[in-house]
């Protein structure tokens, strides 16, 4: 039994069943939880993110954010922000591109929104040589224009699940049966009017909508800045259960060994877009990650890196492009999507041809 499981069983014995959102928060952010005690990233961890597949991913995003700073008139005090920066790999690649512009380097402060002291140490070791001003916060900054990236961040924010039974909706909970955790339903119907078949599941993400609303409000208020969200998810409204657990690169039971597996759920990009628009910002996308990266010049960058290189290097680059932009099994081009938020309607690199508004 894990420390998180012991704590949850005691809590439920005292207060009764908890929501899925409370369960996720405990598993991921508890002092003995997943992000505090595990090394989730890379081959030796539980999953591999796009920045660890290829440096090209972060380089293209760095060029994208630098372009947006120039488009906004080069404001002289801005924050370059990453939500959930992991080991600092993505921000490192962004900075190696963005810092080539001395004006941007002078105008920017790097802000890493990270709660884990262990990961903050990893980030500082990786990034301190690349920028003179780096800060760590637990909340999104709002006092300056922000140029923000969130890669595989929103999928880890807690969700709530509701199950349709007998014409009514009931919230799914986590309770206990002796010394083990079990799923259940609240006995009280929820005030939801949506139609669905019996047993249908609907997920809502109040934490994600609140975070994107805060980001969009900051961008709209300063009339400058850009946020780029890249994650796996869907762009149309619908029903279905997407909560999942991963350990050692393989799916596992959500309730098995809580605190030792990564928990996530597909991102509802439609809801993110609606929250951003309600805060007064403009929304671009979502579009597939593959279309976005190809629009930014992924093939051209791969060709540049591979020019004159060995066949082994060229084969590696080809594999990285396929993994990032392809639509086959284990490729990220379609499942992962990109959404951008700006202060005003405009044409954005990567979104200018195939972007579609999800309203």
| pLDDT tens string 271-281 | 999 999 999 99
pLDDT value at residue 354? 45
Residue 36 binned pLDDT confidence (cut-offs 50, 70, 90): confident
Mean pLDDT of 294-315: 95
Q: Above 90 in pLDDT, residue 31?
A: no
Domain boundaries, the chain: 33-156+207-238+259-342
Contact 78, 144 (CB under 8 A): yes
Would you say residue 43 has pLDDT above 70? no
Q: Could you tell me the pLDDT band of residue 357, with boundaries at 50, 70 and 90?
A: very low
Cβ-contact 88, 123 below 8 angstroms: yes
Q: At residue 115, does pLDDT exceed 90? A: no
Asked if the model's pLDDT at residue 192 lies above 50, the reply is yes
Please give the pLDDT value at position 358: 37
- Alpha-carbon distances, residue 32 vs 7, 29, 35 (angstroms): 10, 8, 8
pLDDT of residue 39: 65
Query: Taking 80 as the threshold, does the pLDDT of residue 225 lie above it?
Result: yes
pLDDT at 266 over 90: yes
Q: Is pLDDT of 356 > 70?
A: no
What is the chain's length? Answer: 359
- Among residues 94, 199, 70, which one has the least CA distance to residue 145? 70
**359 pLDDT tier (thresholds 50, 70, 90):** very low
Bridge partners (DSSP) of residue 169 are 164, 190
| Alpha carbons 150 and 145: distance in angstroms, whole number | 16
CB atoms within 10 A of CB 11: 14
pTM: 0.93
Topology given in CATH for the domain delimited by 33-156+207-238+259-342: Rossmann fold (3.40.50)
Are 336 and 57 spatial neighbours (Cβ–Cβ below 8 Å)?
no
């Amino acid at each position: 039994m894990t420390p998180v499981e012991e704590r949850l069983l005691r809590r439920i014995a005292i207060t009764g069943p908890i929501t899925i959102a409370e369960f996720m928060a405990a598993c991921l952010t508890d002092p003995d939880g997943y992000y505090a005690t595990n090394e989730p990233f890379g081959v030796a961890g539980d999953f591999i993110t796009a920045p660890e597949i290829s440096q090209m991913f972060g380089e293209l995003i760095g060029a994208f954010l630098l372009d947006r700073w120039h488009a906004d008139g080069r404001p002289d005090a801005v924050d370059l922000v990453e939500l959930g920066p992991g080991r600092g790999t993505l921000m490192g690649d962004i900075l190696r591109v963005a810092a080539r512009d001395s004006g941007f380097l002078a105008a920017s402060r790097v802000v890493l929104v990270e709660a884990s002291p262990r990961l903050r140490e990893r980030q500082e070791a990786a990034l301190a040589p690349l920028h003179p001003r780096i800060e760590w916060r637990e909340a999104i900054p709002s006092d300056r224009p922000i140029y923000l990236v969130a890669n595989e961040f929103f999928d880890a924010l807690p969700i709530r699940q509701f199950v349709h039974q007998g014409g009514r909706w009931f919230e799914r909970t986590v309770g206990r049966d002796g010394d083990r955790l079990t799923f259940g339903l609240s006995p009280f119907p929820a005030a939801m009017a949506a139609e669905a078949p019996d047993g249908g599941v609907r997920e809502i993400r109040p934490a994600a909508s609140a975070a994107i609303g805060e980001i969009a409000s900051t961008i709209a208020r300063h009339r400058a800045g850009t946020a780029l969200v890249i994650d796996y998810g869907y762009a149309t409204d619908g029903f279905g259960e997407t909560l999942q657990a991963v350990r050692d690169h393989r799916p596992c039971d959500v309730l098995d060994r809580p605190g030792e597996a990564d928990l996530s759920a597909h991102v509802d990009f439609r809801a993110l877009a609606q929250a951003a628009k309600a805060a007064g910002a403009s929304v671009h996308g979502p579009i597939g990650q593959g279309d976005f990266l190809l629009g930014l010049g992924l093939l051209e960058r791969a060709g540049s890196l591979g020019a004159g290189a060995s066949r082994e290097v060229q084969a590696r680059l080809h594999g990285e492009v396929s993994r990032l932009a392809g639509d086959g099994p284990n490729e990220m081009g379609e499942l992962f999507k990109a959404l951008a938020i700006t202060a005003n309607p405009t044409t954005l690199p990567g979104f200018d041809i195939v972007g579609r508004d999800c309203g």
